[in-house]
Amino acid sequence: MIRALTLRLPDEVREAVRRHATHDGVTMTTWITRLIDAEHSRRTDDHTQLGATTQTSETGPNPAPRAAIREPR
């Protein structure tokens, strides 16, 4: 299922997205979707690799710091 989303961007950010999308030969929607998908995958992979719980802050979920994770002996 695909749903519409209204996204408000500062002019500079919108222009940067347009430039990157044009360079990659895709639409702005495709470029943003790929960016979000890549970030989601990165965070999912980081969380899985760290074996950490997710901490929530005012800016959103963040993986636990590496120093808080014990390595198996």
All residues at 6 or more sequence positions from 55 whose CB lies less than 8 Å from its CB, including other chains: 61, 62, 63, 64
Domains in the chain: boundaries: 13-50
How many Cβ atoms sit within 10 Å of the Cβ of residue 47? 15
Query: 20-73: per-residue pLDDT in tens?
Result: 999 999 999 999 999 999 999 999 987 776 665 555 555 555 544 444 444 444
pLDDT for res 67: 41
Residues linked to residue 63 through DSSP beta bridges, in sequence order: 54
